[in-house]
Chain A
Amino acid sequence: MKITRTKSFRTFIDPVWGENPINIQMLGICSALAVTVQMKTAMVMGLSMTFVVSFSNLIISLMRNAIPRNIRIIVELAVIATLVILTDEFLRAYYYDISKQLSVFVGLIITNCIVLGRAEAFALSNPPHLAFIDGLGNGAGYGLVLITVSFIREFLGSGNLFGVRIIPEAFYAAGYEDMGFMLLAPAAFIIIGLLIWLQKSVIED
């Protein structure tokens, strides 16, 4: 059997493309607007999200037969919140400057619908290995959109990529100016809108 036909592969690739959490399911838009001014913060946010969603999926799937139905949302949230705070503590210890820039948005992963959505819709009814892969796929799908948006915003808005100057000084001397609008949240809104349009028309073809 080809690898692209296996269930694991489909579980991973669906949320990256066809069921992308931001572009197709319209979840997690708020954080995607806030942390995409620079590629560095977008990448750290994507990684944090991937960590949280894959491990919360794994843990909840492991416990899925033991969780009492009537308190399952509380249990899911407790697991998610614990993972998010662990991530936050870790960032504050080892990536202090980035964690300062991300400020509240790491903590707000708790309220990101993608995490609870995957726990409810997938982890509760699937075995641990698939749930973990589903988490990785959703994190990757979320992260890729963030990185694409931040690439456009950082490049056009400040002429940098990963904080390194890309547009040569000579351009500025010749009258080129950064698009200040790209640094504001509405710019991300427009870019995400265009990405959604692009992706949907590609899928429909």
Chain B
Amino acid sequence: MSDYMKSLLFAGILCIACSSLLTAAASGLKKIQQENLLTDQRKNILKSVGLVEQDKEYTSGDINRMFHDSIRRVNIDEKGNLIEENQTAGGDSEKNLPVYLYQKNGGAVQAYIIPINTRGLWGEILGYLAIKNDGQTISGFTVYKHSETPGLGGEIEQNWFQSNFIGKKITGPSGEFVSISIAKGKAEDTVGEEKMGNYVDGISGATLTGKFLSKGLKDVLSGYEPVSIIFRKKLQFCKTNPNTPWCKK
């Protein structure tokens, strides 16, 4: 056998050995990894309504128990109508928007949580935005997956950036929808007094991440606007539709 053939044979055997090892590991650990991912998402949902603190450690059991106690998932279509649970399985997934409702022990809705899925500079940004039951005030924002530059755009996962969102509004002074945007630099230096409620401080050195995130938030929020309107006009709405999950007392 020539040297050439020997090299080829060796390389072939090595490839098969390495790839079967990796396949075995990847498929063997997949279940646990997916559970971790789900727990992490749930943790972020809980964090966006302030049920989970940044620096404390939680077991996955804690997270799942808290999630089942206080969070309920509903699906809506693009007009804001509820989709029954049994319909979702075969339904058109694009028109199927999930909303998480924060109900303390199954009581009245305190806040609703919208999943954020937007483009970033280098890849997707995934997170959650929680809005209080007045349909205007943000109660929290979290990011659980992104691929922005560490130290620059990567700061979106940090507490200082996320806590800026708390108390800001997605509506203007007369109650119309304006979304929430990331300012270029400090919000107080770059936007006027009257718009301060709709801007959060930007990250220096990460203008593009902020730009993509602002646009993404606007797109997502305008898609969920029907739900926000229900909350803003809750009194009226609940008179005619008292049995919807939004109106639970």
Binding site for B on A (CB under 8 A): 34, 66-68, 70-71, 74-75, 78-79, 81-82, 85-86, 89-90, 92-94, 96, 100, 103, 163, 184-185
Is A86 a contact of B25 with CB atoms below 8 Å?
yes
Q: Which residue of A lies closest to B3 (CB)?
A: A68
Could you tell me how many residues of chain B have their Cβ less than 8 Å away from some Cβ of chain A? Answer: 22
Question: Which chain B positions have C-beta within 8 A of A75?
Answer: 10-11, 14
Binding site for A on B (CB under 8 A): 3, 6-7, 10-11, 14-15, 18, 21-22, 25-26, 29, 32-33, 36-37, 39-40, 55, 150-151
Q: How far is the CB of A2 from chain B (nearest CB, A)?
A: 41
Interface of A is mostly: helix
Question: Which chain B positions have C-beta within 8 A of A96?
Answer: 33, 36-37, 39-40
Is A71 a contact of B11 with CB atoms below 8 Å?
yes
Query: What are 16 contact pairs spanning A and B, CB under 8 A?
Result: A34-B150, A70-B7, A71-B7, A71-B11, A75-B14, A78-B18, A81-B18, A82-B18, A86-B25, A89-B26, A89-B29, A92-B29, A96-B37, A96-B40, A163-B55, A185-B151
Q: Which residue of B lies closest to A105 (CB)?
A: B150
Q: How far is the CB of B146 from chain A (nearest CB, A)?
A: 10
Interface Cβ pair total, 8 Å cutoff: 54
Question: Which chain B positions have C-beta within 8 A of A100?
Answer: 40
Question: Which chain A positions have C-beta within 8 A of B18?
Answer: 78-79, 81-82
Q: A75-B11, A86-B22 are in contact. Are A68 and B6 (CB under 8 A)?
A: yes
Q: How far is the CB of A145 from chain B (nearest CB, A)?
A: 21
**A185 CA to B150 CA, complexed, in Å:** 11
Q: A68-B3, A89-B26 are in contact. Are A74 and B11 (CB under 8 A)?
A: yes
Is B36 a contact of A92 with CB atoms below 8 Å?
yes
**A66 CA to B40 CA, complexed, in Å:** 46
Partner of B10, one of A66, A79, A184: A66
Is B22 a contact of A82 with CB atoms below 8 Å?
yes
Q: How far is the CB of A197 from chain B (nearest CB, A)?
A: 26
**A71 CA to B39 CA, complexed, in Å:** 44
Question: Which chain A positions have C-beta within 8 A of B29?
Answer: 89-90, 92-93
**A79 CA to B33 CA, complexed, in Å:** 24
Q: How far is the CB of B160 from chain A (nearest CB, A)?
A: 11
Is B32 a contact of A94 with CB atoms below 8 Å?
yes
**A96 CA to B32 CA, complexed, in Å:** 10
Is A67 a contact of B10 with CB atoms below 8 Å?
yes
Question: Which chain B positions have C-beta within 8 A of A89?
Answer: 25-26, 29, 33
Question: Which chain A positions have C-beta within 8 A of B55?
Answer: 163
Is B33 a contact of A93 with CB atoms below 8 Å?
yes
**A122 CA to B14 CA, complexed, in Å:** 21
